[in-house]
Structure 1
Amino acid sequence: MYRRKCYEKLLIWKRESKGKSALLIEGARRVGKTTLVRAFAKNEYADYLYIDFSAASPATLELFRNHREDVDTFLRMLQLEYGKQLKRRDSVIIFDEVQRFPLAREYVKHLVEDGRFDYIETGSLVSLRKNIADIVIPSEEDRIELNPMDFEEYLWACGLDIYADEIRRARASLQPLPDNVHAKIMRLFNEYMLVGGMPQSVEAFIEEKDFGGCDHIKRRILNLYLEDITKFGGSDARRARAIFQAIPGQLSASSKRFKFSTLGRGVRYEGCEAALDWLADAHIANMCRLCTDPNVGLRLNEEESSLKCYMADTGLLVSLAFADGPESLSVHRDLQFGRVSVNKGMLAENVVAQQLKASGHSLFYHTWSEPPLSDDKKPRPREVDFLITQPYSDAGNKLRICPIEVKSTKSYSTVSLDDFRPRYEKRVGAEYILHPKQLQSSGHRQYLPLYMAHCL
């Protein structure tokens, strides 16, 4: 198993819950949930019992249906069914793909109350209405989201821990890395944008050192997602599928805001809201909402109908955006060698959204207009790509708004960021520009290499 940051969250849950709550790990298909929990169970417990509800026997399902009234009998029969004799308070029972059998999720409440074992659930599409319609969601359930690998996890998977450590050191000290090291890590970051953070894709690239194999894996995952939308999307399936396939085209536009009118005549946000929620609940798209008045508590001023829709994994975005054959191969070459024929802007913004989401940030952006320079001129539009909140040392470590601008080329302007602080004054903390160039710091503003996005 590749080293995942989520493993530390599982350790914290085990230490702090002491069997008083179950843990639900949700995330997209093929993101590594099963591998993670089985490794955790093997390493951290004396024994474990694993139930995969996508392949569970009829006898197992009957236990949940007909023997729930007596936990003692249920657990005895379950252990007999799997040939296990679990050690009390040092064993865990795993419910994998729990969305396929919601009754097991509901029963977790009584199993946790019994207290003799720990319980971990995993699932994709867990929150869909059809999977929770007829059950009582257990209050004794903590939740963790597993995302695709961020860049730091990718470096760990490649055995390049030394670079991951140096990136953290440079970020903490605000001292740039040597030019040759910076260039090497930027090449690795461009590689990561192509490979993405889906564990199977990463594994294929590490084994073959070639983009062909991992591209094949990613296309298989994309087909799986499209099949899931068709199978589980219900009345929202057609619209969800259209939105999902439109993401590359929307991100390649200059504003990157999703224009619902492109989906068909008369299509508006209201008609797409349920489909957008489906894609977000499936963890295959990241929604970045407009914050109309930046302040601590970004969600208080959220305008849901104005949004950017990012792919949850940038590697999947590359494979969705570009067709098989020579065109796809040229994309890989252009990105690796820094050519500008590819719209690297959409990939850079998507990969930053992916890193921020993996770090626990909700995604927000902000737009406004500055007054015209003269009466015969138009108002001057401004946009900040992302907003996050962080403690700010110049304000006694109180939370402040931190604007983030993403630049995919070495030549750029910063007019929006220049106008942001004067407009919002004391609300604003550090300002970040993520770009391909070296790290530098000037007053409130930090210019960070793109490969430091996961450090924010």
Structure 2
Amino acid sequence: MKRKIYDRLVQWKKESNGRTALLIEGARRVGKSYIVEEFGRNEYASYVLINFSNASPRIKNLFINDVHDIPMLLQKLSNLTATRFVERNTLIIFDEVQKWPRAREAIKFLVEDGRYDYIETGSLISIHENVKNIIIPSEEEKMQMYPMDFEEFCWAMGDVVTVPAIREHFESHKPLGDDLHSSFLDTFRRYMIVGGMPMAVKEYASSKDFSKVERVKRQIISLYKEDIGRLAKANKRKTAALYEAIPAELSKHDKVFNLADIDKNGKFSNYEDPIYWLEDSMVVNICYNSSEPSIALGLNRELSTMKLYFGDTGLLVSMAIDSGTLTENEIYIDILQDRLHINEGMFAENVVAQALRANGHKLFFHTFYKKREDGTISKNRSEVDFLIKEGKRISAVEVKTGKSTEHSSLDYLMDVYSKQLGQCYVLHTKDLRKEGNLLYLPIYMVVCL
């Protein structure tokens, strides 16, 4: 299936010309191995993929015994993989490189040799267990890979016209009209259910059967849970508790993760490592509270206040079904027929978080207490769902799934921080319209932000 990251790989090959290796990070099953192998097959005279999950001891030992003699290491690697290496026209792929950090450390010397290109893929790249006792090569460029976005989902369905039409109307600020809007919204809702995991998308493209897709997604969730149990080490119970609690926390009105819901004595300091593990694994997207909507969102980040979103909305749908609050068919019908209840608005907010992350945004939201006309401060906390950087200004994004598009928090923010804010958006299930400084966008136009 066509992936946008492929064009970035081609660009890397052209611009790097062997001077750097490329490290692709991503959650398991997002298609890293598939796309780099496709890239090697199409763009080089030869390629070899070494999967360190099952590589032979003889191959692994090359990066211990022969790293002092790179020409000999490469000759042995060519022989052991029965692959003819062509100078400046062979790609060597280290798949699941976190399983054998010595190979990652050797990248420095392999790149200095200069004869071949190197791509590494992996997950949990940065956690201590996967980097201890090695020197991280400075010759490494990093690229993150996410589940398939809405446009890639459309491509898999054989649809190459929907997203270009969406972008055209976004840029012109022209409504789409009832027929076009309904068609695009229906496709986007199907994407919310299926999600962007390539195996799930492939199943839906071939069968159009949500039940078959559900089985695929549950296999992926089981794999993630096994990873937590196997890889999270001493923190596996806390990490598992965090992961399992995400649907319930997102079903709350404010969606802020409250550690006390899973541990009555829960403190951020006790859960910092599990939170970091989930973030580094990329199965979760973390949205931090920024205390001020300024260009320095990260500097104003409040680490102890956050929302945890699933990296893939389709998996969130499956986890919500597993919680037993609604049946599989009830959730599907509610999503497809725009009958999302308040607690099910988590699917819409999650898919927005997923799209913003895929578009390169770090995730932030903003909470505050309004100042009344008499000078007193409201006791009720207000919130804006997302803050994103657009050029030198900050744009605020609100997600609305019900009939009401009331946005008093956004209005207040726009009034107080008018000099710092650019265009602000309300994402909803209706057609595009503009009112004053606000742009109301159908939710599928999040692909344009």
Give the TM-score normalised by the residue count of structure 2.
Answer: 0.97
Preserved CA contact (<8 Å) 2:253 2:343: no
CA deviation after TM superposition for structure 1 residue 410, in Å: 3.3
Matched position secondary structure for 2:306: strand
| Larger mean Cα displacement after TM superposition, 374-383 or 3-12 | 374-383
Judged with a 3 Å threshold, the aligned counterparts in structure 2 of structure 1 residues 271 and 5 are, in CA distance, closer, same or farther, namely: same
Preserved CA contact (<8 Å) 1:371 1:380: no
CA deviation after TM superposition for structure 1 residue 329, in Å: 2.0
CA deviation after TM superposition for structure 1 residue 13, in Å: 1.1
The corresponding residue for 2:417 is: 424
- Taking the TM superposition and a 5 Å limit, the aligned residue runs for 1:148-227 are 148-227=147-226
- 2 CA distance for matches of 1:377 and 1:70? 69
Matched position secondary structure for 1:322: helix
CA deviation after TM superposition for structure 1 residue 372, in Å: 3.8
CA deviation after TM superposition for structure 1 residue 412, in Å: 2.3
Runs of 4+ in 1 over 4 A off after TM superposition: 373-378
The corresponding residue for 2:406 is: 413
The corresponding residue for 2:385 is: 385
The corresponding residue for 2:84 is: 85
- 1 CA distance for matches of 2:118 and 2:189? 39
Look up the equivalent residue of 1:414 and give its one-letter code.
Answer: H
- 1 CA distance for matches of 2:384 and 2:252? 16
Q: Which runs of 5+ in 1 are unaligned?
A: 392-398
Matched position secondary structure for 2:222: helix
Look up the equivalent residue of 2:361 and give its one-letter code.
Answer: H
- Taking the TM superposition and a 5 Å limit, the aligned residue runs for 1:15-414 are 15-323=14-322, 327-341=327-341, 343-372=343-372, 378-391=378-391, 399-414=392-407
The corresponding residue for 1:396 is: none
- 1 CA distance for matches of 2:314 and 2:399? 18
- 2 CA distance for matches of 1:118 and 1:375? 63
Preserved CA contact (<8 Å) 1:194 1:315: yes
CA deviation after TM superposition for structure 1 residue 433, in Å: 0.7
Matched position secondary structure for 1:343: helix
Preserved CA contact (<8 Å) 1:410 1:437: no
- 2 CA distance for matches of 1:369 and 1:123? 42
| Larger mean Cα displacement after TM superposition, 56-65 or 233-242 | 56-65
The corresponding residue for 1:444 is: 437
Preserved CA contact (<8 Å) 2:427 2:443: yes
Preserved CA contact (<8 Å) 1:49 1:84: yes
Preserved CA contact (<8 Å) 1:45 1:92: yes
Judged with a 3 Å threshold, the aligned counterparts in structure 2 of structure 1 residues 438 and 251 are, in CA distance, closer, same or farther, namely: same
Matched position secondary structure for 1:89: coil
Q: Which runs of 5+ in 2 are unaligned?
A: none
- 2 CA distance for matches of 1:256 and 1:98? 35
| Larger mean Cα displacement after TM superposition, 324-333 or 413-422 | 324-333
CA deviation after TM superposition for structure 1 residue 56, in Å: 1.0
CA deviation after TM superposition for structure 1 residue 373, in Å: 5.6
Matched position secondary structure for 1:288: strand
The yes-or-no answer on 1:10 pairing with 2:3 is no
- 1 CA distance for matches of 2:348 and 2:11? 33
Matched position secondary structure for 1:425: coil
Matched position secondary structure for 1:120: strand
- 2 CA distance for matches of 1:376 and 1:109? 60
Judged with a 3 Å threshold, the aligned counterparts in structure 2 of structure 1 residues 380 and 231 are, in CA distance, closer, same or farther, namely: closer
* Count of aligned pairs: 448
Preserved CA contact (<8 Å) 1:372 1:379: no
CA deviation after TM superposition for structure 1 residue 374, in Å: 5.9
| Larger mean Cα displacement after TM superposition, 100-109 or 41-50 | 41-50
Look up the equivalent residue of 1:454 and give its one-letter code.
Answer: V
- 1 CA distance for matches of 2:393 and 2:222? 42
| Larger mean Cα displacement after TM superposition, 374-383 or 91-100 | 374-383
Judged with a 3 Å threshold, the aligned counterparts in structure 2 of structure 1 residues 283 and 377 are, in CA distance, closer, same or farther, namely: closer
Preserved CA contact (<8 Å) 1:31 1:199: yes
Deviations 1:17-72 (A, max 9, x none): 11000000010010000011011111111111111111111221122221111111
- 2 CA distance for matches of 1:365 and 1:89? 46
Return the match for 1:434 from 424, 427, 430. Answer: 427
Preserved CA contact (<8 Å) 1:252 1:343: yes
Preserved CA contact (<8 Å) 2:93 2:120: yes
Look up the equivalent residue of 2:422 and give its one-letter code.
Answer: G
Look up the equivalent residue of 1:165 and give its one-letter code.
Answer: P
CA deviation after TM superposition for structure 1 residue 341, in Å: 4.7
Give the TM-score normalised by the residue count of structure 1.
Answer: 0.95
Preserved CA contact (<8 Å) 1:195 1:202: yes
CA deviation after TM superposition for structure 1 residue 440, in Å: 1.4
| Larger mean Cα displacement after TM superposition, 335-344 or 439-448 | 335-344
